[in-house]
């Protein structure tokens, strides 16, 4: 047995962690000084740490534990599959039952004619697959010059070199020579931060038309695809104005380019529909899935592909694939997760009960003097922190300074609520009941009160300009 157990003292675990474990998106030297919080177990919507603290997980892990923690059925599905067939690949004219069954299930669940799936281990890999799929598609269509992919600033599509290039995060592009060639970015539909004096609807149209202008600038014969999240998640739960997606859909219908919808966060019930694509009435050619597909119990993702694209791609060998494409244990876990989602009507629960109740409480937070706007779709929500409710201006301090101070209060109050810059975001397990949402609200309110006081005390309650 491994000697590292939950029973070691926290400080010892933290020291070992600091010595050997490089954390994602972390200044490890800084973390080593504080020590990471050690999560030891979880049940339902609650995490337990090595000090025995009970923490409400309003982020569902990293936007993924949609059915909540501690579902034995998933553990049992994994154990059964490990005993039966722990691994086999799907290369070289082979297949196995979990991959077959999951592909069949996904084809049934996915909207429109997205009847095919190329498996990956997560969202980044799946989006790398998408880069190759769209370029290969146009090669096979006899238009090899159609290689440019249009994405958006502040989009998040993963952290591999390909997927981070698709993403529009400056911080990532600055490290490691990204974006790779032939990926370009247009503006995001963030009215609160960037809409100025325009109405949200006019601003939504304007940002959508940047796609049309970019296609014209590059020439339609050079553009392969447009990729976007229905609602930007890691970018701060940016909910586009109502005018945005209909205008994007019009442009995509008029132009000969592919639409890739990244549903890594918005998929599997997060919006109160199975997919954000249905929420917004989109017609993607490719859809990225991961996270909620297995509720995070096993690493699995994929690209759902339309009949039209799959037919073209399938005509010749597509020289692409991962050792773990369609991994049988991950596939078995995902299948069991989807079975539970359906049996327990979790998507309906989000649409009809938990989502509306969370929205009611979330918008109440909008009355707080520290809150400039509240946004929510299904069970993904954000609020903008502000020093002046009337102004829609950023803080004078560098972006994220104030947000981090509020997140620290959330941590202290045993609430996992993230900050993205100076926006606070939640994406709770979809199985939250009203009592859990009440607790989320109470802790969020207390954290806002305390954060507001701390920011004032530090002299940071000031708008820029």
Least Å from the CB of residue 203 to ligand PXG: 22
Nearest-angstrom CA–CA distance, 241 and 203: 8
Does 417 interact with ligand PXG (rule: CB under 6 A)? no
Enumerate residues 160-219 that contact ligand PXG by CB under 6 A.
none
Task: Determine contact, residues 451/398, Cβ cutoff 8 Å.
Answer: no
Least Å from the CB of residue 132 to ligand PXG: 16
Least Å from the CB of residue 154 to ligand PXG: 12
Out of 111, 158, 267, 394, the only residue in the binding site for ligand PXG (CB under 6 A) is 158
Q: Say which residue the tokens 């005390």 belong to.
A: 457
Nearer to ligand PXG, 120 or 431 (CB): 120
Least Å from the CB of residue 309 to ligand PXG: 19
Out of 118, 119, 156, 322, the only residue in the binding site for ligand PXG (CB under 6 A) is 156
Q: Which of 282, 436, 424, 69 is nearest to 274 (CA)?
A: 282
Which span sits near ligand PXG by CB under 6 A: 70-78, 259-267, 332-340, 456-464?
259-267
Nearer to ligand PXG, 380 or 387 (CB): 380
Binding residues with ligand PXG: total (CB under 6 A) = 16
Nearer to ligand PXG, 186 or 206 (CB): 186
Give the orientation angle of helix 434-457 with respect to helix 355-365, to 10 degrees: 20
Least Å from the CB of residue 427 to ligand PXG: 8
Strand order in the sheet with 46-49: 39-43, 46-49, 54-57, 415-416
Nearest-angstrom CA–CA distance, 143 and 324: 31
Out of 103, 264, 282, 448, the only residue in the binding site for ligand PXG (CB under 6 A) is 264
Radius of gyration of the chain, Cα coordinates, nearest whole angstrom: 22
Nearer to ligand PXG, 146 or 158 (CB): 158
Q: What length is written for the chain?
A: 465
Least Å from the CB of residue 62 to ligand PXG: 5
Does 355 interact with ligand PXG (rule: CB under 6 A)? no
Q: Which of 218, 214, 150 is nearest to 179 (CA)?
A: 150
- Count CB atoms within 10 A of the CB of residue 223: 27
- Give ∠ CA 152-147-160 in degrees, rounded to 5: 55
Which span sits near ligand PXG by CB under 6 A: 138-146, 180-188, 262-270, 302-310?
262-270
Nearest-angstrom CA–CA distance, 97 and 352: 35
Q: Say which residue the tokens 């202290």 belong to.
A: 412
Out of 98, 122, 269, 326, the only residue in the binding site for ligand PXG (CB under 6 A) is 122
Enumerate residues 39-98 that contact ligand PXG by CB under 6 A.
62
Nearer to ligand PXG, 146 or 327 (CB): 327
Return the residue nearest ligand PXG (CB atom).
Answer: 123
Which span sits near ligand PXG by CB under 6 A: 104-112, 150-158, 343-351, 366-374?
150-158
Does 262 interact with ligand PXG (rule: CB under 6 A)? yes
Least Å from the CB of residue 168 to ligand PXG: 12
- H helices present in 182-306, as ranges: 191-194, 200-218, 244-254, 276-279
Tell me the β-bridge partners of 149: 183, 225
Q: Which of 384, 400, 399 is nearest to 448 (CA)?
A: 384
Contacts of 341 (CB under 8 A, 6+ apart): 66, 67, 268, 269, 347
Nearest-angstrom CA–CA distance, 426 and 221: 41
- Name the token pair of 126: 């799946």
Nearer to ligand PXG, 322 or 357 (CB): 322
Does 118 interact with ligand PXG (rule: CB under 6 A)? no
Q: Peptide bond preceding 363: is omega within 30 degrees of 0, i.e. cis?
A: no
Out of 164, 225, 259, 290, the only residue in the binding site for ligand PXG (CB under 6 A) is 290
Least Å from the CB of residue 123 to ligand PXG: 2
What phi and psi, each to the nearest 5 degrees, are found at residue 211?
A: -65, -45
- Count CB atoms within 10 A of the CB of residue 257: 23
Does 124 interact with ligand PXG (rule: CB under 6 A)? yes
What does the binding site for ligand PXG look like in residue numbers (CB under 6 A)? 62, 122-124, 127, 156-158, 229, 233-234, 262, 264-265, 290, 301
């Amino acid at each position: 047995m491994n000697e590292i157990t939950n029973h070691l003292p926290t400080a010892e675990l933290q020291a070992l962690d600091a010595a050997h474990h490089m954390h994602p998106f972390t200044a490890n030297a800084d973390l080593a000084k504080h020590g990471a919080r050690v999560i030891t177990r979880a049940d339902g919507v609650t995490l337990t740490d090595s000090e025995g603290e009970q923490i409400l997980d309003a982020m569902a892990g990293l936007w993924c534990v949609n059915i909540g923690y501690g579902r034995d059925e998933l553990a049992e599905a994994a154990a059964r599959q490990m005993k039966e067939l722990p691994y086999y690949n799907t290369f070289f004219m082979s297949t196995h039952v979990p991959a077959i069954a999951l592909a069949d299930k996904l084809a049934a669940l996915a909207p429109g004619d997205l009847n095919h799936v190329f498996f990956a281990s997560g969202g980044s890999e799946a989006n790398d697959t998408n880069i190759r799929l769209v370029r290969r598609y146009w090669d096979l269509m006899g238009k090899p010059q159609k290689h440019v992919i249009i994405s958006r600033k502040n989009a998040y599509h993963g952290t591999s070199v390909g997927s981070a290039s698709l993403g529009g995060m400056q911080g990532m592009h600055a490290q490691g020579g990204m974006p790779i060639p032939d990926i370009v970015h247009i503006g995001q539909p963030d009215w609160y931060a960037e809409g100025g004096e325009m109405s949200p609807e006019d601003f939504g149209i304007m940002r959508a038309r940047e796609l049309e202008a970019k296609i014209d600038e590059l020439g339609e014969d050079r553009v392969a695809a447009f990729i976007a999240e229905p609602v930007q998640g890691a970018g701060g739960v940016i909910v586009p104005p109502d005018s945005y997606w209909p205008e994007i859909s019009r442009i995509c219908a008029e132009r000969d380019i592919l639409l890739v919808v990244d549903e890594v966060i918005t998929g599997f019930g997060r919006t109160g529909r199975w997919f954000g694509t249905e929420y917004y009435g989109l017609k993607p050619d490719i859809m990225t899935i991961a996270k909620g597909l297995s509720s995070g119990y096993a690493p699995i993702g994929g690209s759902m592909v339309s009949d039209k694209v799959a037919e073209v791609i399938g005509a010749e060998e597509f020289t692409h694939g991962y050792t773990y494409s369609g991994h049988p244990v991950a596939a078995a876990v995902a299948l069991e997760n989807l079975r539970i989602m359906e049996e327990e009507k979790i998507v309906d629960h989000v649409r009809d009960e938990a989502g509306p109740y969370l929205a009611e409480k979330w918008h109440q937070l909008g009355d707080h003097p520290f809150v400039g706007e509240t946004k929510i779709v299904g069970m993904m929500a954000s609020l903008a922190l502000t020093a002046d409710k009337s102004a829609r201006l950023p803080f004078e301090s560098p972006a994220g300074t104030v947000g981090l101070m509020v997140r620290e209060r959330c941590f202290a109050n045993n609430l996992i609520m993230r900050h993205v810059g100076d926006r606070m975001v939640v994406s709770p397990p979809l199985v939250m009941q009203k009592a859990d949402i009440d607790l989320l609200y109470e802790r969020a309110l207390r954290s806002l009160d305390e954060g507001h006081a701390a920011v004032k005390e530090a002299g940071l309650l000031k708008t820029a300009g």
